[in-house]
Amino acid sequence: MPFNSVIDRDDTEALMPEDAIREIFDNVEQQSVVGQLARRLRNGTRSEMRLPVFEALPMAYFVDSDTGMKQTTSLAWQNVFIRYGEIAVITPIPENVFDDSEFPVWDQAVPHITGAINQVFDRAVFYKEGAPSNWPDSLLDQIVAHGHDVSPGEATSPDAPGSPGELYDDLLGVGGVLNLVEEDGYVVTGHAAHPNMKARLRQVRSDNVPLFANVPGEAGRNRYTLDGEPIVFAMNGSLDKDVTPLISGDWRQLVWSVRQDVTWKMLDQAVLTDNASPPNIIYNLPQQDMIALRVKFRVGWALPNPPTRLNPNDSTRFPFAALIGSLAS
């Protein structure tokens, strides 16, 4: 057998059930912060997806008499593209594991695979970390460019710095995170936050009523809300607590799409190395009696930011805002 050959799909059907592949894809959507909050579009069929969006809104006018002239208006569109990037992960597994049919191999592997994929995707959206060069600027950079960043303690508050009252103003007061989104004609539909925000949000109250609610959800799981909208905590490490502890916005405006469903290949005659120069061998599959599952899918995102009635100015209008900077301990 040639050194670089692979076991094909027919040879590994018993090892890699189809429902495990489906579970990987479903879990990526459910566990990714972006996947939970943003709007998913249909799957793409080409290397990019074109989204025509409004560039100028129509205008309407009163007619000044029974025979007055009705005015015309114009509409303008611009093209926004979702360009797909490939995310891949290789999971090595000892062959001896498969000799024991009682061992739940894929139950063990799937969480690690999906965890790796959703963290990479989320951090590429939030910070453009490791993202393709033709992807949009990071969500954080766009927030800052549009002046929608709020530093801890920036909003006016009579309380001491770092107090619950100050955090209330930073998030919900005039000039706070939510207010910046609302002033541009958008509705905040959700929040993404670092888990470190949980304790801080528990202290935020209005008339002694917590703003941070923990309400019953599906299957007995609790669902957290802030100002009535869901808040997703980035348990996958996709948000840095000292950089972007919280992002709020109209997540319907951020769209993402998958170029294709998850694809996989089982490798058994390969050498896996790291990125060092020269590379270091991590696993030698044939020599160590191992196989490796390679999983990949192609995904992309876009944030068209069309004009609204409240703010047609491209340089200041944006459907997201964020608390940016380290919170006082």
Residues 6+ apart with CB under 8 A from 120: 87, 130
The span from the CA of 173 to the CA of 167, in Å, is 9
User: What are the backbone angles phi and psi of residue 202, rounded to the nearest 5°?
Assistant: -65, -25
Q: Which two tokens stand for residue 307?
A: 């004009």
pLDDT for res 182:
94
The span from the CA of 264 to the CA of 262, in Å, is 7
The answer to whether the CB of 148 falls within 8 A of the CB of 141 is no
Q: Computed over its alpha carbons, how large is the radius of gyration of the chain?
A: 24
The span from the CA of 171 to the CA of 143, in Å, is 15
Return the DSSP state at 150. E
| Interhelix angle 105-127/18-31, nearest 10 degrees | 40
The span from the CA of 177 to the CA of 149, in Å, is 7
pLDDT for res 318:
93
Give me the tens of pLDDT residue by residue for the chain, a chain 329 residues long. Answer: 333 333 333 444 444 555 655 666 666 666 889 999 998 877 766 766 756 554 554 566 566 766 666 665 555 445 667 788 888 888 888 877 766 655 666 667 777 788 888 899 999 999 999 999 999 999 999 999 999 999 987 765 555 445 566 888 899 888 999 999 999 999 999 999 999 998 888 887 766 766 676 666 554 455 788 888 999 999 989 999 999 999 999 998 898 888 866 677 888 888 988 888 888 998 899 998 888 888 888 888 888 887 777 877 777 899 999 999 887 65
Handedness of CA 3, 9, 14, 18 (dihedral sign): positive
pLDDT for res 106:
67
The answer to whether the CB of 280 falls within 8 A of the CB of 209 is no
Of 229, 151, 245, 144, the C-alpha closest to 193 is 245
Torsion angle defined by CA atoms of residues 257, 260, 266 and 272, in that order, rounded to the nearest 10 degrees = -50
